[in-house]
Amino acid sequence: ILAVLWNGARLLHPEAAWLVRLDIRGRIAVAALLVYNILSLGMPALLWVFVASETVGALLQHRAMQK
């Protein structure tokens, strides 16, 4: 439900820079939680793919905000 609401807000207000900044922080938080779970709880190494995708997504969004 939260993902649908979030994407709906971004769809309705794509120009809202604060939404993008929140999304960047959210992606970094998700990546950090995944790293914690992989390293401390022994979660599958396949989750590194999601760490990379969240990190790359945050970097691309940050870069787009700079333009």
User: Whole-prediction pTM value?
Assistant: 0.80
Tokens representing 50 are 């999601």
Considering only CA atoms, which of 24, 51, 27 is closest in space to residue 37?
A: 51
Q: Which helix (H) or strand (E) holds 19?
A: helix 17-41
On the question of pLDDT at 67 being above 80, the answer is no
Quote the CA–CA distance of 39 and 52 in Å, as a whole number: 15
pLDDT digits (tens, 9 = 90+) for 19-46: 888 889 999 999 999 999 999 999 999 9
